[in-house]
């Protein structure tokens, strides 16, 4: 049964200065016009930043990001996939980056993933852009299956920051969906809960015409 979004928008507006203000506040600043045209090295850069941000202070990663770009060869997936494990010893001792061996290894593995998709799909951006907008849960599962350390919230933030129209299952979003009777607890990690969340956001999108990323943000803002 299709859900109506107007009551949620009204709650968000009441908390945040009216409908015009909350719609401006919730707009997705990461959206891009043509994701298919975004170069693979920029997408791998965003992916790596999300992997390193998980469990770290993001300000530390931000401060070192120029060093990451240099150490990882500008995130050229072809170069990194070719060098592969041969780079590990150098990178784990490179003071320009955060020297976390598991995440460095994940970056090299993700470079191979991105390079493989570049060859098979005609572009990693094209692969992302071609995935159905109503099946983020399926795309997340694919990233988790084929990539490294791309599960859960990391995949959600990667998709959002890469420019895909992505929802994020934050605590506030999930709390709003508990209130709306979509979820039974304020988290969504199981396949069942992710499917329920996806279906609800698809219904809200069909009802409101708003982008899914903005719907996600408005759900969070409706909590307070």
pLDDT-based confidence at 2, cuts 50/70/90? low
Q: What is the mean pLDDT of residues 87-108?
A: 95
Same domain, 96 and 77: yes
Output the domain CATH number for residue 117.
1.10.340.30
SS3 196: helix
- Domain C-terminal end among 117, 143, 162: 162
Please report the pLDDT score of residue 3 as a whole number: 82
Whether 45 and 151 share a structural domain:
yes
Expressed as residue numbers, the domain containing 121 is 35-162
Number of other CB atoms surrounding residue 197 within 10 Å: 22
Q: How far apart are CA 94 and CA 68, in angstroms?
A: 9
Does the global pTM surpass 0.85? Answer: yes
Residue 106 has pLDDT above 90, yes or no: yes
pLDDT in tens, 161-176: 999 999 999 999 999 9
The pLDDT-based confidence of 101 (bands split at 50, 70, 90) is: very high
Task: Please check the confidence at residue 70 and state whether its pLDDT lies above 60.
Answer: yes
- Whether residue 155 sits in one domain with residue 47: yes
Contact status, residue 50 vs residue 161, Cβ threshold 8 Å: yes
Q: Do 104 and 19 fall within a single domain?
A: no
Residue written as token pair 């191979």 = 112
Average pLDDT score over residue span 186-204:
97
| Average pLDDT score over residue span 112-119 | 97
pLDDT-above-90 percentage for the chain: 94
């Amino acid at each position: 049964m299709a859900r109506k979004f107007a009551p949620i928008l009204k709650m968000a507006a009441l908390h945040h200065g009216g409908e015009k203000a909350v719609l401006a506040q919730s707009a997705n600043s990461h959206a891009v016009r043509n994701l298919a045209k975004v170069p693979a090295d920029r997408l791998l850069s965003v992916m790596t930043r999300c992997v390193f941000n998980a469990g770290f202070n993001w300000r530390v990663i931000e401060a070192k990001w120029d060093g990451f770009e240099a150490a990882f060869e500008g995130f050229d997936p072809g170069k990194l996939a070719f060098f592969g494990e041969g780079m590990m010893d150098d990178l784990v001792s490179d003071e320009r980056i955060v020297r976390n061996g598991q995440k460095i290894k994940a970056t090299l593995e993700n470079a191979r993933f991105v390079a493989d998709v570049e060859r098979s799909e005609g572009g990693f951006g094209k692969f992302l852009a071609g995935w159905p907008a109503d099946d983020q849960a399926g795309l997340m599962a694919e990233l988790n299956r084929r990539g490294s350390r791309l599960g859960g919230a990391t995949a959600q933030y990667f998709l959002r920051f890469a420019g895909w129209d992505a929802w994020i299952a934050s605590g506030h979003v999930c709390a709003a969906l508990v209130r709306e009777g979509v979820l039974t607890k304020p988290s969504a990690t199981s396949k069942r809960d992710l499917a329920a969340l996806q279906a609800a956001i698809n219904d809200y999108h069909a009802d409101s015409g708003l982008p899914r990323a903005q719907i996600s943000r408005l759900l969070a803002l409706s909590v307070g």
